[in-house]
């Protein structure tokens, strides 16, 4: 009887002890979660991120999306998804080209104008699941990109275009209501762009491991600064070490680094002697996306590219060079030849410095 009583008492004590430990751990977790980093701590972290970013110096911009297949810089969202057909897509080739040229990071247009997403998004039908001529709609180019570039030790970034009011003549009469910003979005997104953006960024920042930078376009198009900062805060809550770059942003409150779209941005280039951390994005040729109307007369030569790289680096800026893959999903033709020439020049310069 005594033994039975002792066992019952012992069991009760164990239960009580476990309950106390659970409550204590929950309280500690809640207390830790409620502790917010000070502005000084957050700014110190941003400064460290900028310093690490500037060490990369040279990056590859990859404009590859629906616009690749329609000979336009901006897709409008009304294209037949069957157009998208990269029969030889090879992200490993992109990464090899970048690595050989001395590039240290790459940024892929995972969602450009028109809303087409290169991953399977739960929040729109305008995504890779609609591309029936690529992996029967079951592919994930975002995952392939991340895997290929990480395999070569390169940093990865996503270009993401905010929904915006692109009601300009460039879309033409083929767009019925001339509101491609709404096309392909669920009904609720029309009244809550911010909520829609957050959901998609959550997918991108929780399904592909650490992402080094997020490159945002059209963030200033009909979005208030307060809403933009809300998005920035959301990104940092998911991945504190993800650098956020706003296209053509010249305010370190709006972007972790200055952003210059050369030479179309009004400020063009950081001034000589600049100490402000920056990135300059440029095109190897006339168009951002691969286009049949492009040609040799529009393509930069290798010496011009390397000269621009050096100039940017001297002005405390990285150089993000756009080299668009073709409709097969490869960097090819004169673009490939130029990058091979850049690789040779960079290699020669490195040997001379030793």
The band of 266, judged by pLDDT with boundaries at 50, 70 and 90, is low
> pLDDT tens, 76-97?
888 999 999 999 999 999 999 9
- The maximal CA–CA distance of the chain, rounded, in angstroms, is 99
Average model confidence (pLDDT) across the chain: 86
The alpha carbon of 92 is separated from its chain's Cα centroid by a whole number of angstroms, namely 18
Tokens read off for 297: 């007369």
Mean pLDDT computed over 196-225: 91
Could you tell me the two tokens for 23? 């409550």
- Find out whether the peptide bond into 18 is cis, omega within 30 degrees of 0: no
- Both tokens of 281, joined, read 């994005």
> Which one is predicted more confidently, 130 or 188?
130
How confident is residue 215, by pLDDT bands cut at 50, 70 and 90?
very high
- Residue of 327 and 31 predicted with greater confidence: 327
Question: Given CA atoms 84, 58, 213, 231 in this order, what sign does their dihedral have?
Answer: negative
Average pLDDT on 108-125 reads: 93
Confidence label for 265 from pLDDT (cuts 50, 70 and 90): low
Name the H helices within the chain: 2-34, 39-54, 91-100, 141-151, 193-206, 225-238, 302-314, 333-353
* Residues 191, 195: Cα–Cα separation, whole Å: 9
Q: What is the average pLDDT across 249-270? A: 84
At 165, is the pLDDT very low, low, confident or very high (cuts 50, 70, 90)? low
Task: Name the pLDDT band for 52 (thresholds 50, 70, 90).
Answer: very high
Distances (CA, A) of 253 to 49, 205, 228, 249, 343: 14, 21, 10, 9, 36
Average pLDDT in the 148-164 region?
94
For residue 3, name the pLDDT band (cuts at 50, 70, 90). very low
108 and 145 in contact (C-beta within 8 Å)?
A: yes
- Residue labelled with tokens 């030790």: 153
Strand partners, 59: 105, 320
Among positive and negative, which fits the CA dihedral 154, 155, 156, 157? negative
Predicted local distance difference test score (pLDDT) of residue 243: 97
Look at residue 162 in the predicted model and tell me its pLDDT. 86
Asked whether the predicted pLDDT for residue 288 surpasses 80, the reply is yes
The more confidently predicted of residues 133 and 349 is: 133
Residue 283 — very low, low, confident or very high, per pLDDT cuts 50/70/90?
Answer: very high
Residues 137 and 120: their CA atoms lie apart, in Å, by: 9
* pLDDT attached to residue 150: 99
Nearest 10 degrees: Cα torsion 242, 243, 247, 249: 140
Give the single-character DSSP code of 68.
Answer: G
Contacts of 148 (CB under 8 A, 6+ apart): 91, 92, 94, 95
- CA 346, CA 101: separation in Å to the nearest integer? 7
pLDDT at 4: 47
Strand pairing report for 58-62 and 243-246: unpaired
Please tell me the distance from the alpha carbon of residue 256 to that of residue 241, in angstroms, as a whole number: 11
pLDDT at residue 250 is higher than 80:
yes
- Residues 216-244 have pLDDT tens digits of 998 776 678 899 999 999 999 999 999 99
The answer to whether residue 6 scores a pLDDT higher than 90 is: no
Q: Taking Cα atoms as reference points, which of 206, 208, 337 lies closest to residue 284?
A: 337
**Average pLDDT of 33-43?**
68
State the pLDDT at residue 225: 87
CA angle 166/122/218 to nearest 5° reads 25
Q: What is d(CA 75, CA 122) in angstroms, rounded to the nearest whole number?
A: 21
pTM of the model: 0.86
Residues 6+ apart with CB under 8 A from 143: 119, 208
**Mean pLDDT comparison of 38-42, 264-268, 312-316, highest-scoring range:** 312-316
Query: What per-residue confidence (pLDDT) applies to 176?
Result: 45
Select the more confidently predicted residue: 38 or 273: 273
From CA 281, how far away is CA 322, in angstroms rounded?
7
Q: Say which DSSP state 59 is in.
A: E
Q: What pLDDT, on the 0 to 100 scale, is given for residue 70?
A: 95
* CA-atom Rg of the chain in angstroms: 24
Domains of the chain and any CATH numbers: 39-353 (3.20.20.80)
pLDDT category, 11, cuts 50, 70, 90?
low
Residues 115-121 have a mean pLDDT of 95
Take residue 305 and report the two structure tokens written for it: 């590219």
């Amino acid at each position: 009887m005594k033994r039975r009583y002792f066992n019952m008492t012992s069991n009760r004590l164990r239960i009580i002890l476990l309950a106390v430990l659970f409550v204590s751990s929950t309280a500690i977790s809640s207390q830790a979660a409620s502790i917010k980093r000070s502005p000084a701590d957050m700014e110190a972290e941003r400064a460290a991120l900028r310093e690490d970013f500037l060490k990369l110096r040279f990056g590859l911009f990859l404009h590859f999306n629906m616009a690749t297949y329609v000979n336009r810089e901006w897709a409008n969202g009304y294209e037949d998804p069957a157009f998208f057909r990269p029969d030889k897509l090879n992200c490993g080739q992109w990464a090899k080209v970048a690595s050989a040229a001395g590039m240290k990071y790459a940024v892929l247009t995972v969602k450009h104008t028109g809303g087409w997403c290169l991953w399977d998004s739960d929040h729109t039908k305008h995504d890779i699941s609609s591309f029936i001529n690529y992996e029967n709609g079951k592919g994930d180019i975002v995952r392939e990109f991340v895997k290929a570039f990480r395999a070569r030790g390169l940093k990865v970034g996503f270009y993401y275009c905010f929904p915006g009011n692109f009601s300009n003549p460039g879309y033409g009469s083929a767009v019925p209501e001339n509101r491609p910003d709404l096309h392909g979005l669920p009904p609720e997104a029309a009244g809550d762009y911010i909520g829609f953006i957050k959901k998609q960024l959550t997918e991108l920042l929780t399904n592909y491991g650490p992402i080094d930078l997020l490159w945002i376009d059209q963030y200033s198009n009909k979005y208030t600064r307060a809403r933009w900062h809300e998005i920035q805060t959301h990104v940092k809550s998911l991945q504190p070490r993800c650098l956020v770059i706003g296209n053509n942003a010249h305010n370190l409150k709006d972007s972790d680094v200055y952003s210059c779209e050369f030479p179309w941005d009004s400020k063009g280039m950081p001034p000589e002697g600049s100490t402000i951390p920056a990135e300059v994005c440029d095109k190897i040729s006339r168009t951002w996306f691969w286009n049949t109307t492009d040609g040799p007369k529009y393509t930069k030569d290798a010496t011009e590219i390397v000269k621009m790289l050096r100039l940017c680096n001297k002005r405390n800026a990285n150089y993000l060079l756009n080299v668009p893959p073709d409709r097969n999903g490869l960097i090819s033709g004169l673009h490939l030849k130029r990058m091979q020439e850049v690789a040779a020049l960079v290699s020669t310069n490195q040997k001379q410095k030793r």
